Structure 1
Amino acid sequence: MMKSRAKRISLKPYVGPAGGWGSARSVGNILARENVLASGSLLLTRHNKVDGFQCVGCAWVKPAQPLPFEFCENGAKTVAWEITNHRCGPDFFAEHTVTDLLDWDDYHLEQPGRLTHPLRYDLESDRYRPVSWGAALDEIARELRASRARDPKRAVFYSSGRCSNEASYLYALFARLYGNNNLPDSSNLCHETTSVALPESIGQPVGSVSLADWGHTDCILFFGQNPGSNSPRMLHPLQEASERGVPIITYNPLRERGLERFTNPQSPTEILTGHETRISSQYHQVKTGGDLAALTGICKAVLELGALDHGFIAEHTHGFTAFAEWLRGQDWAELERRAGLPRIALEATAAVYARSQATIAVYGMGLTQHRAGVDTVQMLANLLLLRGNMGRSGAGICPVRGHSNVQGQRTMGVTEKPDLVPLDRLKRQYGFEPPREAGFTSVEACEAILAGTVDCFIELGGNFVRAVPDRGRVEPAWRRLRLTVNAITKLNRTALVPGEISYILPVLGRIETDRQATGIQSLSMEDTTGCAHGSRGMRRPASAHLISEIRLVAELGKRVLEPNPRVPWDAWCDDYRLIREAISKTYPETFFDYDRRMWEPGGFQRPLPACKREWHTKTGKANFITPNGLDEDRDMPEDGPDVLRMMTLRSNDQFNTTVFGYDDRFRGIKGTRDVLLMNRLDIDRLGLADGAMVRIETVADDGVRRELPGLRVVDYDLPVGCVGAYYPEANVLLPLWHYAVGSMTPAAKSIPVRVHRMDGDTARTRHGRPQMSLHP
């Protein structure tokens, strides 16, 4: 297999809708490519069904009454990716050195297939070599014990959103028994802003919208989320809302096809006739980083219209007077400049909103991944509070989580914030003194690695090094770690950046049957609306040498920690129902009768007090929160004539750092990911041309040069002064310290950059290898 392929590059506008034949063909293509066309098609009939398996992709709702095919294009891709018949075993690693593999891009690293054996890195040969599970776990345990003796805080326990509730609960317990709260997870990189903003506004860290609310709403506001690629099953309730005349108003820098037009690929009539449903009734291309100003303008217009729910404000809110006074003081010209939109656009939104009796506000990482992300989410909450759109049928705030069960992990205690965990209850339940000191966020973990104050990094799923900012600085520091452990299902770049001692530990996927002493086990997950669901694996494991994440954590627990009769690691491995029983004792208000309720159609919902207009805030009410200002990037230079704002993007052919292919169908880009989307006016103003090869560099005065060469300019419809490049390749341009104030979520949606023409068609290193140096 070659480390890269010659690709035919095509760049032309896509004229079709989201869904339709394009979606159907894409699903068929990946099932065939992974050699699971027949078995995968059959397995997909159990996808997101009540007695089936939970999607391994996004966290969208698993409905009580599912469609015959309750999966989307990207969901099918993640299934095919996991159940592939391709295998990546010891022979593969005998053939390839780690140095050679570092030149492979993300797609080709994962294409060899599922990992089959535990592996240990051998420095002398620069290869991963097979090792027994016993030898691997014994050495990992020795290193963890040695680090713990030095200082328990020198180990980090990271997890991605794919872990089940059961595995997450044990993992969090293991870390606290070990002696720290260093439990960063992928939420830190995407929606931690939500978890910080909403508790202050409405008293809960998650949204307030159920699937049923979508059928009762009469207005939907959409901010910074792309359902066509990131959560396509959401297009079904959006289509239904549009067809009954519900206005859908979108604010997004790019015109995403899933927010414009949709053809339902599960409707034979629509497929055969080419029928398209209009999704957005208004589409406003807000400037990158301009959402806070845009939302402020909408709030100001609503106030000027007098369209307020005075009764709700008086009874249920705090801080309105100060907020209203601040709104009145905002200058329309400044709001227009910062939002990149005319006043009339914001007033048009306000007029429609003012007529609504029940509004849902949906948002994604287009709001959370900004320096002012917390302020922006709270401003969206302010907008809803102005008209009482909390705790009302068909209304509320709806953050769309990315990875399946990233929200459930937090519920289970995978968090660096000890105040979010019932530590006193854990103390009584397991007879130990839990650590009370806050642990590391993902950004803080990187800072500690750079500072040399971390010895061991355990990664339960994910691709941490590839996903985090400032890769040019983090990767060299990562190699200085004493121990790195990658519990994964497929090869990724993080595993190829070994520490002094490095392991690849292959684990079962969610779709695979997990047979233990008491029989085949079931797992559970939480969706984006706070509902917990059961999930049954249905595929034969890819290798006899795989173990479950639960058994991996338990085996480490037995080897690393002192014996504790109250912590029955072996019994938990034998019967996962006992884990759920333990969870119900730690969280009795939510998880009582857990083993039965998780199989209820639609799952069971965690308590959401804001839905009942109960406000668990310091004031006892929902809070209007007034921001300190509208500056998006207080730590970056002001925009200049040659400074553009770059946002990172995901393609239609990827999920997080997993790249399924080189095509981004909805954006008309085929055969490449090495592109920079630019407005035609910026192309002309900077003396460039469509198709020109350029180098982009970050504008930051911290002594570090961050650049990414070899991108092809693509003339694209996005606001003047804004550019877009693909994640994770463009992460090298994002400084580690450039994050949302209050949440430390990397501000990947607004990075100030300069664009420089390259001489000739100079090719850069594959997969965006970091270009970074210190200024002399």
Structure 2
Amino acid sequence: MTKQKSDEPDLTPFGGPAGGWGSVRSLAEILPRERIPPEALRELVRQNKPDGFQCVSCAWPKPAHNHPVEFCEEGAKATAWELTTLRTKPEFFEKHTLTELRTWRDYDLEQHGRLTHPLRYDAATDKYVVVDWDEAFREIGAELKQIAPPSVVFYSSGRASLEASYMYGLMARMFGNQNLPDSSNMCHESTSVGLKAAIGVPVGTTQLKDFELCDAIFFFGQNVGSNAPRMLHDLRSARKRGIEIVTFNPLRERGLERFTDPQNPFEMATLRETNISTQYHQVRAGGDIAAMMAIAKFLVEWDDEAKTQGKDLVLDHAFIEQHTSGFDDFITFVRAADWDAIVQESGLSKAELEVSARIYAKSKAVMIIYGMGLTQHVKGVENVRMVVNLLLMRGNIGKPGAGPTPVRGHSNVQGQRTVGITEKTELVPVDKLAEQYGFSPPREKGLDTVESCRGVIDGSVKAFIALGGNFLRAVPETEAMEAAWFNLRVSVQIATKLNRNHLFPGAVTYLLPCLGRIESDIQASGAQAISVEDSTSCIHGSKGKARPASTHLLSEPAIIAGIAKQTLPHNPKVDWDRWVADYSTIRDAIEETYPAVFPDFNKRMFQPGGFWKGNKASERIWLTKSGKAEFLTPTGLSATGFDDADGRYRLMTLRSNDQFNTTIYGYHDRFRGVKGTRDVLFMNSADIARDGLHEGQIVALESDVGDGITRVREGLIVMPYSIPEGCLGAYYPECNVLMSVEHFAEESHVPAAKSVPVRIRV
């Protein structure tokens, strides 16, 4: 296969809804492109079903009573991407050096197809060459034994199963460190930190059934149409029963506006649509604290009026008194907040803010759904805590139909944390691990993503093991990170397809191809199943049945075990071979480590709808220092972490509906009207005119973080778009080059990709 070229750029506004015939046409295009055979198409019918496989893309929950087709456009693309019959065989690497491949686009690398053989980098030829699995494990183990444990990073993508994640975390700790950064470090760590401090649990408190019990839904910074389209079924049902949906999002996103259900023959035949948002407020990037503060301020004012007039109170004072701490300090801040400053920072009028507050005030059960539009800011943790503050004011946590609902991205990123993928000792039962496996687990904090990047750049990180993902492409500081990667002693990448990270070798580099989740995994005891956790803390079993892409692939557990056996001293209490032979024994081990979370794990894993691992905050049991839910006062109204200035813009990095994280499925962002390119700069028309630019002009963005380092993204096409003045949008990961590794969320270290200070350069 040769490199594919994109079409000529076509920037034409899209007039249709989310879903509908546009979704059908998108699937009709990608399936033949991936050369999916008829027998593989049957796998789509099994997707997200109780006896099938769990989608490899997003973590939206799977219903117990499923639709005939329980996949969305994005999920089907992810399945086609994995089941493709295209292959990247050893002959491909005989023809291409890594230097040449670094000139290829991300899409062309992955689109070439599934990897088929384990590979080792040969520096003399600058090519990958085939290697025997046992030889690979021996050399990796021999190299790691020579490196001090604090200098090795064990990164994991959020797609790895609970079983593989448990083994991986145990291997790292037995090796001697907790350097276990993962996808959560890049997206929802702000949730984990913010919710944990405020309500005692690091995850949301709602379940899928709460959509049937709420009477209002508030959205902040989450693009459902591209990032969790199956949620649109739940939102459509909520709207059909008259539920108000109030959206705060900088860009007009089609999935939050209109939806046609592809599974509804009447809607498809009549082109009927469901309006999703009853209110849509285009808040400035980083202005969500101000918007939520406005709602809180209205609630307090109306509550004061009700007291003086002897009417029903607006705030839930009984709940506040019994269940919360810090209310007085928070209310003092709310009362002192200046309306002019709120309007300026939010970018919304007082009247717009009031109509949203009235919906919240009259609703008895409110869910607040949010995504990385809240978490990826310097004040991202404060954003999350402000969500909690708003919910606590009316007792909207711990009752049916109410609570915080963070939408996770990767299909098991939340589950990985549950079974020990974390750099934080307090989140892992290290004493239990010590007892269970007879070793001394490390107690010091490990490296997170930001700290791992620093270590790669300054040379203190000597080895990097990656269980999936495309780390170099996902993180900030692209140029410095790519340059520094060559200095690693060891780079091991476990993957299904070739991506850009694989093209930057260390001294000793291995590319180890693994089975995909949808493929049949046959081990000594027979066909195996794995498990994942969704965004609502439900655990699901998953069975792959498709024919593997190659007979030379190993499963993730088998690869982890192979590395562990060659790296770690023999431990009679850890039978890696037994675990690989029968994954149910891994689940037995997980249950032993986490008995409160996984009782009867093997018996319950295929329960329709998943089994819920429980959530104390949903029971109004607060595992905080005070024993109560905490009102936590923000430090200001802006989440950006920098001041506005003439010529300085707030850049939001965005994903298209033709990608999943760093994986690019194609060059058609249908909902935003972009086709044939990803080199687009979304701008407000007033900003275009004020800067003397014009539609279609080619410009560059330059980082304005103020650290003296030049970071530039060239070749962006100016496109007028419905976006607040002073804000810009451009695609991730291409614009990561503009981000400093030091521009991250306070406390959580999440890269602040939703408010990057930049200037336009002509």
Cα deviation code 1:149-194 (max 9, x no counterpart): xx21110000001100000000000000000000000100000000
Is residue 360–residue 394 contact of structure 1 (8 Å, CA) maintained in 2?
yes
Matched AA of 1:333: D
Q: Which moves more between the two structures, 39-48 or 609-618?
A: 39-48
Contact 2:383 2:639 in 1 (8 A): no
Aligned match of 1:538: 545
SS in 1 for 2:154: strand
Secondary structure, aligned partner of 2:259? strand
SS, match of residue 712 in structure 2 = strand
Q: Show CA shifts across 1:604-631 (max 9, x none).
A: 1112001111100001011100012224
Give 1:71 deviation, angstroms: 0.2
Q: Taking structure 1 as the reference length, what is the TM-score of the superposition?
A: 0.96
Please say if residues 358 and 395 of structure 1, whose CA atoms lie closer than 8 Å, have aligned partners that are also in contact. yes
Check whether the contact 2:40–2:546 (CA below 8 A) recurs between aligned residues. Answer: no
**Quick check: 1:301–1:347 contact (8 Å CA) kept in 2?**
yes
Give the drift of 1:6. 4.9
- Structure 1 residue identity aligned to 2:433: L
Partner Cα separation in structure 2 for residue 177 and residue 653 of structure 1: 40
1:701 match: 706
Aligned counterpart, 2:647: 642
Match of 1:349 in 2: 356
Deviates more, 1:731-740 or 1:551-560: 551-560
Residue 119 of structure 1: aligned partner:
119
Aligned-pair identity (%): 55
Quote the residue 2:247 is aligned against: 250
1:690 maps to amino acid: E
Amino acid at match of 1:540: R
Provide the C-alpha distance between the structure 2 equivalents of 1:7 and 1:279, rounded to a whole number of angstroms: 32
1:737-748 matched pairs, under 5 angstroms = 737-748=742-753
Deviation per residue, 1:472-516 (Å, 9 max, x gap): 111111110001011000000000011111111000000011100
Instruction: Pick from 680, 684, 698 the counterpart of residue 679 of structure 1.
Output: 684
Query: Aligned pair 1:561/2:568, yes or no?
Result: yes
Structure-2 residue corresponding to 1:72: 72
1:485 to 485, 492, 498: 492
Q: Residues of 2 paired with 1:596 and 1:248: CA distance?
A: 38
* SS state at 2:364 partner: coil
Kindly indicate whether the alpha-carbon contact (under 8 Å) linking 1:3 and 1:103 is maintained by their aligned counterparts in 2: no
Q: Secondary structure at the match of 1:271?
A: helix
Q: Does 1:501 align with 2:498?
A: no
2:390 alignment counterpart: 383
- Find 2:288's aligned residue among 288, 291, 297: 291
What is the number of residues matched between the two proteins?
Answer: 752
1:741-760 to 2 correspondence within 5 Å?
741-757=746-762
Q: Is 2:265 aligned against 1:273?
A: no
Q: Is the 8 A contact 2:198 2:624 kept in 1?
A: yes
| 1:427 aligns to 2:458 (yes or no) | no
d(CA) in 2 for partners of 1:736 and 1:333? 33
Shift of 1:679: 0.5
Cα distance in structure 2, aligned partners of 1:3 and 1:685: 40
Q: Tell me if structure 1 keeps the 8 A contact 2:286–2:638.
A: no
Pick from 715, 719, 725 the counterpart of residue 720 of structure 1. 725
Consecutive unaligned residues of structure 1, counting only runs of 5 or more, are 758-776
The separation in 2 between residues aligned to 1:38 and 1:31, in whole angstroms, is 10
- Asked whether the equivalents of residues 4 and 105 of structure 1 are also in contact (C-alpha less than 8 Å), the reply is no
Matched, 1:511 2:534: no
Aligned partner of 1:368 in structure 2 is: 375
Deviations, residues 592-649 of structure 1 (Å, cap 9, x unaligned): 1100111111111112001111100001011100012224344x4x222211110000
Q: Distance between the aligned counterparts of 1:167 and 1:490, measured in 2?
A: 19
RMSD (Å), alpha carbons? 0.8
Given residue 622 of structure 2, which amino acid in structure 1 is its aligned partner? W
Distance 1:690 1:477 in 2: 38
Match of 2:236 in 1: 239
Q: Report what 2:257 is aligned to.
A: 260
Preserved CA contact (<8 Å) 2:248 2:280 = yes
In 1, Cα distance between equivalents of 2:684 and 2:458? 40
Deviations 1:31-70 (A, max 9, x none): 1111115234311100000010000000000111111000
Alignment of 1:492-641 (within 5 A): 492-634=499-641, 636=642, 638-641=643-646
- Distance in 2 separating the partners of 1:692 and 1:87: 39
| Alpha-carbon shift at residue 4 of structure 1 (Å) | 4.8
State how far apart, in whole Å, the 1-side matches of 2:738 and 2:296 are: 34
2:110 is the alignment partner of 1:110: yes
**Is contact 1:156-1:445 (8 Å) kept?**
yes
Q: Distance in 2 between matches of 1:546 and 1:12?
A: 43
- Residue of structure 2 in register with 1:651 after alignment: 656
Deviation of residue 301 (structure 1)? 1.0
Partner of 2:213: 216
Distance 2:743 2:8 in 1: 36
1:234 partner amino acid: M
Q: Which residue of 1 aligns with 2:338?
A: 331
Alignment partners' CA distance in 1, 2:25 and 2:634: 47
**CA apart distance, 1:135:** 1.1
Partner residue, 1:196 = 193
Q: Which residue of 2 aligns with 1:447?
A: 454
**Cα distance, 1:37–1:283 mapped onto 2, change above 3 Å:** farther
Name the aligned partner's letter for residue 75 of structure 1. Answer: G
Say if 1:362 and 1:399, in contact at 8 Å, map to a contact too: yes
Q: In structure 1, how many angstroms separate the alpha carbons of the residues matched to 2:476 and 2:759?
A: 18
The residue type equivalent to 2:258 in the other structure is R
Q: 1:390 to 1:676 in 2, by over 3 A?
A: same
Distance apart, 1:295 and its partner CA: 0.9
- In 2, the alpha carbon distance for the partners of 1:631 and 1:715 equals 25
C-alpha distance after superposition, 1:119-147 (max 9, x if no partner): 11111111111111111111111111111
Q: Is the 8 A contact 2:223 2:255 kept in 1?
A: yes
Amino acid at match of 1:330: A
Partner secondary structure for residue 704 of structure 1: coil
Structure 2: any 5+ residue segments left out of the alignment? 304-313
Match of 1:764 in 2: none
Q: Partner of 2:391: helix, strand, or coil?
A: helix
Looking at structure 2, the residues matched to 442 and 87 of structure 1 have their Cα atoms a distance apart, in angstroms, of 31
Moved more, 23-32 or 689-698: 23-32
Answer whether contact 1:657 1:727 (CA < 8 A) is retained. yes
The amino acid of 2:619's aligned partner reads K
One-letter code of the match for 2:220?
A: F
Cα distance in 1 for partners of 2:598, 2:544 equals: 22
Cα distance in structure 2, aligned partners of 1:413 and 1:249: 36
Contact map agreement 1:31 1:40 (CA 8 A) in 2: no
CA 1:709 to 1:4, structure 2 compared with 1: closer, same or farther past 3 Å? farther
* Correspondence 1:161 to 2:158: yes
SS state at 1:85 partner: coil
Distance 2:618 2:469 in 1: 33
TM-score in terms of structure 2 length? 0.98
Deviation track 1:525-575 (CA, whole Å, cap 9, x = no partner) reads 000000001000110110011001101111111111111110011110111
For the structure 1 residues 257 and 37, does the alpha-carbon distance in structure 2 shift closer, same or farther, using more than 3 Å as the test?
Answer: farther
Is residue 2:95 matched to residue 1:95?
Answer: yes
Q: Displacement, 1:296?
A: 1.1
Cα distance in 1 for residues equivalent to 2:270 and 2:6: 37
